[in-house]
Amino acid sequence: MTRLIILLSVALLAAPVLSLVLGSRAGEGLISGPDPIAVPAEVAKPAAATARGTTPLPPPAPAFSRPGEAPLFDDATRTAWVYVSNQTNASTGLPNSVVGYPYGTIWDIGSALAALYCARGLGLIGEADYDARMSRVLRTLASMRLFDGAAFNKNYQVARGVPAGRNDRARPERSDGYGWSVIDIGRLLVWLKIVERADPEHAAQAAAIVARLDMERLIDDGYLQGGGLTTTGGVRTYQEGRIGYEQYAAAGFALWNARAERALSWKANVQEATVLGVPLLVDIRSNSLLTSEPFFLMGLELGWWDPEWRIQAERILAVQAARHEETGRLTMVSEDALPVAPYYFYYYTIFSQGDPFAVRAIGQQIPRPEPRWVSAKAAFAWYTLMPGEYTWRVVQEVSRRASNRNVGWSSGFYERGGRATGSENINTAAVILESALYRQRREPLVVTAGTRRTPAPAPTDSLPSPDSSRPPIRR
């Protein structure tokens, strides 16, 4: 409690920036924007719902509305769905991770589930189309070969559903792949739980997919464990995850009663750092990547179950607005696909290894000048969770620069010159669809799962309570 009081006090130091981010509502207190999210220790049970096929419950009124906001979101979701529809492989139901690129990680496949679920919720596809698409993806997941019999491989050929190798080679070092990312698996578990709760007809399939995983190898000593091949052909495991990503993924496991208690709690592995006058909690371990992605995914999908998580999220947004104030450049950072060699996937961080606003990748040869971009998915997610003057300005700008109605959403636009990045991809599409559905329902998607369907049995799974005591690169 003492630490929470201290954090609340120092957060007031960032009040001018928070006011800019959250608009006039910032005067109502630190917890501003839509009503504060409260997910108790036992995740809220699905609300009573009408039976499938009967008149649905009316959606709640949006908590916020600006001139032009509704058509902007409508256009954004339709453009996001264009990507999913055009890039899906009919045989597996899996979309290409990036336009025309026939590989995908388990994180990407989790995003594919999110995109389908949200498209149905937004009325972009009907029930029959949704059921056919979701059934196909779940059948593919049920049949995909696991690495070392323990977990999904890091990467798959999405047209065939077979393991791919390092650097997206079609033939892996071993026929079952080269390792697993427990962080990516955590995202998949979040979405399998949402599908299980929302869709009784898919619940058994979702649970059977989770049952394939060897949880004893994925969790050890309270931490999440990644796995991979050694130079001698053996398999080693290692602690995977840093602040934000670690807790988000661990929550996915907790939803299926596989609890990594030390991963769920950040308290043993953080210290405070100040960036542009905004105090932040940063990971003290090596190879940390503090960026927007896991924090807005928590907000959209799970809710910030600890008040300190919401404070951290507000500060992460506030420091981006502070950079705009200092440099004049719109700032909205995340991880994204970019058409920039040699890595094609970059992390635009708020803080990494002592450096503010550093750009990182899987290797050390970051091109110069560094690619810096305004992330489209981050813009929509942050505006949905914390609507204010700054977030509204950014979401309007990405809508103008990064949307291609015939292809889908670019990952964003470059800070220098304002050109769209290209690299239309499933993760950007999914987060924009999630943001739109959250905007309608005004609650985390795991809480509202099933609210317009037949109620599922009361869940026994739980997220951590507030007082419960990534490898360097996800891909």
The mean pLDDT value for 278-292 works out to 96
Burial of 2 (0-12, 13-18, 19+ CB in 10 A): exposed
| Cα dihedral 281, 287, 289, 295 in deg (nearest 10) | -60
Place of tokens 């489209």: 376
Q: Which tokens sit at 156?
A: 């798959």
Q: For 124-133, write each residue's pLDDT tens digit.
A: 999 999 999 9
pLDDT averaged over the chain?
A: 85
Residue 346 contacts residue 474 (beta carbons within 8 Å)? no
Predicted local confidence at residue 239, as pLDDT: 97
Residue 60 located in a structural domain: yes
The mean pLDDT value for 364-375 works out to 93
Buried-exposed string 438-473: b where 16+ CB fall within 10 A, e elsewhere: bbbbbbbbbbbbbbbbbbbeebebbbbeeebebbbb
Q: For 434-455, write each residue's pLDDT tens digit.
A: 999 999 999 999 999 976 543 3
> Amino acid letter at 64?
F
- H helices then E strands: how many in the chain? 16, 20
Residue 466 located in a structural domain: no
Predicted local confidence at residue 142, as pLDDT: 98
Q: Look at the chain and report how many structural domains it folds into.
A: 1
At 391, which CATH number? Answer: 1.50.10.140
Predicted local confidence at residue 168, as pLDDT: 63
Residue 421 located in a structural domain: yes
The distance from CA 44 to its chain's CA centroid, rounded to whole angstroms, is: 20
Predicted local confidence at residue 64, as pLDDT: 61
Residue 175 located in a structural domain: yes
Residue 270 contacts residue 290 (beta carbons within 8 Å)? no
The distance from CA 215 to its chain's CA centroid, rounded to whole angstroms, is: 22
Residue 454 located in a structural domain: no
Q: What percent of the chain has pLDDT over 90?
A: 75
Compute φ and ψ for 323, nearest 5 degrees. -65, -40
Q: For 77-93, write each residue's pLDDT tens digit.
A: 999 999 999 999 999 99
Domain that holds residue 105: 2-448
Residue 461 located in a structural domain: no
Residue length, the chain? 475
In sequence order, what DSSP letters do the residues of 30-81 get, joined into one string? SS-SSSPP---SSPPPPPP-PPTTSPPPPPPPPS---TTHHHHHHHHHHHHH
The mean pLDDT value for 223-235 works out to 95
> Amino acid letter at 364?
Q
Residue 313: pLDDT over 80: yes
Band of the pLDDT at 173, cuts 50, 70, 90? confident
> Amino acid letter at 461?
D
Residue 35: pLDDT over 80: no
Residue 474 located in a structural domain: no
Residue 30: pLDDT over 50: no
pTM for the whole thing? 0.86
